[in-house]
Amino acid sequence: MKITHVEVHRIVVPPADPPFRWRDGLSGSAPVGDGAVLRIGTDEGAEGVALFARPGAAVMLEDLVERVFREELIGQDPFQREWLWHRVWELDRIHELPLPAFGLIDIALWDLAGRVYNQPVWEVLGGFRRQIPAYASTSTFATVEEFLDVADQCLALGYRGIKLHAWGDARRDAQLCLALRQHVGAEVPLMYDGSAGFDLPDAIYLGRALAEADYLWYEEPMREFSISAYQRLAESVSIPLLVAETSDGAHMNSADFIKVGAATFGVRTSTTLRGGITGAMRTAHLADSYQLRAEVHGSDIPNHHLCMAISNTTYYESLVTATTVVRERHVDDRGMVHAPTGPGIALPLDFQYGSELQQFVEQASA
């Protein structure tokens, strides 16, 4: 089988309703934008797709396909995912691909393989589980009271834990984390995500508060470029650290976080930032060999498949971005997320697609 066409289909990505915020300094939810679907086809009719829905995605992907990806892929065997994953790394040396674009070819080829085998990709990978608990991962709300009210709603809706994305102010965030622990009691798993808002002294201050409040993990308090800073943090706080979500270099970079002792809870993995399914699984296996967790980052469908295939992961991350909480449709009333059932990976129902893409969209019951 040979790859014969590589196309980009533009789609409209509607704005979040209501719009939401992240910590001070970061962009919040995007206005309406042009997303894109990468579609790879073959001489035998097999096809696979990958969704790229970030701000600026359509322009970025069209450019990459025209300049780099199409020429690389035409004539290649679509089942040689490992070879093509390494080819993308080689291309990255000159082109410095945006991290979220790095894994798109890999995701489309896994989707293609699943469709050929008529199996969901989590099964093709070697399934580990058929359901996993979800935690509510909040956006940033205005006040402590709003956070506590959202937490109550999440727990009533069945969510099994809560992760805060707060303001990025170490003192204020520490008070919120302690208040939430007091509010929900000792039994509810709580996590905190700093979205790289701090330097080392503030990260240490906040980490000590999180340890006092018995949080499960402390995620990305600093930009992930100084592994030495994370080593110092790990030496200074007892709260377990979950690291290497956004850093470049897939498993290779994660290995260095582990080596210095910074990944005291584990590392992040995702199709979005670790180079597709292949890079995400490699990262998970790396962590597994050190008896560490590889917690899956992000709510989209490729990461949903990862949650079912990775042994050393705990939760599915489900975004909660409104003060009136609506449970994501993949999460049931016990807070469980169930394995996808259709072939391949599938495009999410949440967007409007042209008729030429309908065959790739997930079934409503999934």
Interacting residues toward Mg ion by CB under 5 A: 193, 245
Shorter beta-carbon distance to Mg ion: residue 215 or 353 = 215
Shorter beta-carbon distance to Mg ion: residue 76 or 137 = 137
Instruction: Please tell me the distance from the alpha carbon of residue 72 to that of residue 84, in angstroms, as a whole number.
Output: 9
Shorter beta-carbon distance to Mg ion: residue 173 or 245 = 245
For the residues of 59-83, what is the DSSP string, one character each? HHHHHHIIIIIHHHHTTS-TT-HHH
Please give the DSSP secondary-structure letter assigned to residue 21.
B
Cβ–Cβ under 8 Å, residues 282 and 89: no
Shorter beta-carbon distance to Mg ion: residue 123 or 300 = 300
Q: Which residue has its beta carbon closest to Mg ion?
A: 193
The minimum distance between CB 34 and Mg ion, in angstroms, equals: 25
Shorter beta-carbon distance to Mg ion: residue 42 or 269 = 269
The minimum distance between CB 76 and Mg ion, in angstroms, equals: 34
Instruction: Please tell me the distance from the alpha carbon of residue 107 to that of residue 340, in angstroms, as a whole number.
Output: 15
The minimum distance between CB 8 and Mg ion, in angstroms, equals: 28
Return the bridge partners of 317, or none.
Answer: 135
Return the bridge partners of 191, or none.
Answer: 163, 217
3-class SS of residue 147: helix
3-class SS of residue 127: coil
Strand pairing class (47-52; 33-42):
antiparallel
Instruction: Please tell me the distance from the alpha carbon of residue 240 to that of residue 207, in angstroms, as a whole number.
Output: 9
- DSSP helix, strand, coil percent of the chain (3-state; round to 5): 40, 20, 40
The minimum distance between CB 182 and Mg ion, in angstroms, equals: 24
The minimum distance between CB 265 and Mg ion, in angstroms, equals: 13
Residue 359 CB partners (closer than 8 Å, separation 6+): none
Tokens read off for 235: 């030496």
The minimum distance between CB 222 and Mg ion, in angstroms, equals: 12
The minimum distance between CB 311 and Mg ion, in angstroms, equals: 21
Shorter beta-carbon distance to Mg ion: residue 39 or 163 = 163
Instruction: Please tell me the distance from the alpha carbon of residue 175 to that of residue 85, in angstroms, as a whole number.
Output: 44
Shorter beta-carbon distance to Mg ion: residue 123 or 193 = 193
The minimum distance between CB 292 and Mg ion, in angstroms, equals: 17
The number of beta carbons lying within 10 Å of the beta carbon of residue 180 is 22
Shorter beta-carbon distance to Mg ion: residue 111 or 193 = 193
Tokens read off for 295: 């917690």
